[in-house]
Amino acid sequence: MALIEGSHTAEEDIKRSSDFLRGDLSSDIARSDASVSGGSEHLLKFHGIYAQDNRDVRRERSLAGESLEYIFMVRVAIPGGKLSTEQWLALDAVASDIADGTIRLTTRQAVQFHGVLKQGLRPMAHELDARLMTSFGACGDVVRNTVMCPDLLSNATDRRLLDMADRIAATFKPTTNAHWEIFVNGDKSASREPASEHSFYGATYLPRKFKIAIANPHENCVDVLAQDLGLIPATHDSLGEGFNVVVAGGLGRSYAQPDTFARLADPLTFVTHEEVNDVIRAVLATYRDLGDRTNRRRARMKYVAADLGLAPFRAQIEQRYGRALRPALPLAFEDADDHLGWRTNADGSCQLGVRVGAGRVGDVTEGHGLRSALREIAESFDVTFLITAQQDIVISKVAPSDRETIDALLATHGVRRADELGTVERSALACPALPTCGQALAEAERKLPDLVSLVQGELDANGLTKRRLQLRMTGCPNGCARPAVAEVGVVGRTKNSYDLYLGGGPRGDRLASLYQEKVKLDDIPGVLRPLLERWKLEGLADESFGDFFGRVVEP
Is the pLDDT at 1 greater than 80, yes or no? no
pLDDT in tens, 405-445: 999 999 999 999 999 999 999 999 999 999 999 999 999 99
The dihedral of CA 226, 229, 230, 235: what is its sign? positive
pLDDT in tens, 532-544: 999 999 999 999 9
Q: 3-state secondary structure string, 383-427? A: CEEEECCCCCEEEEEECHHHHHHHHHHHHHCCCCCHHHCCCCHHH
Residue 465 backbone dihedrals phi, psi, to 5 degrees: -55, -35
The fraction of the chain above a pLDDT of 90, given in percent, is 95
Outline which parts of the chain fall under CATH 3.90.480.10.
Answer: 341-420
Outline which parts of the chain fall under CATH 3.30.413.10.
Answer: 10-321, 425-553
Is the pLDDT at 40 greater than 70, yes or no? yes
How wide is the angle at C-alpha 358 spanned by C-alphas 54 and 480, nearest 5°?
Answer: 75
User: How many CA atoms, within 13 angstroms, populate the side-chain half-sphere of residue 220?
Assistant: 20
The mean per-residue pLDDT over the stretch 231-239 comes to 97
Name the average pLDDT for the chain. Answer: 96
Q: Do the bridges between strand 229-236 and strand 240-247 make them parallel or antiparallel, or are there none, so unpaired?
A: antiparallel
CATH code for the part of the protein at 425-553: 3.30.413.10
pLDDT in tens, 113-138: 999 999 999 999 999 999 999 999 99
On whether the 10-321 domain is CATH 1.10.10.60, my answer is no
- 222-243 per-residue burial string, b: 16 or more CB within 10 A, e: under 16: bbbbbbbbbbbbbeeeeeeebb
CATH number of 341-420, picked from 3.40.50.1000, 3.40.50.620, 3.40.50.2000, 3.90.480.10: 3.90.480.10
* Whole-angstrom distance, CA of residue 188 vs CA of residue 190: 7
Nearest to 102 by CA among 134, 139, 74: 74
Which pTM was predicted?
A: 0.96
pLDDT in tens, 328-366: 999 999 999 999 999 999 999 999 999 999 999 999 999
DSSP assignments along 304-348, one per residue: HHHHH-HHHHHHHHHHHHTSPPPPPPP---BPPP---EEEE-TTS
Is the pLDDT at 230 greater than 50, yes or no? yes
pLDDT in tens, 148-190: 999 999 998 899 999 999 999 999 999 999 999 999 986 554 4
According to DSSP, residue 255 is labeled T
- The pLDDT, as a whole number, for residue 188 is 52
Is the pLDDT at 193 greater than 50, yes or no? yes
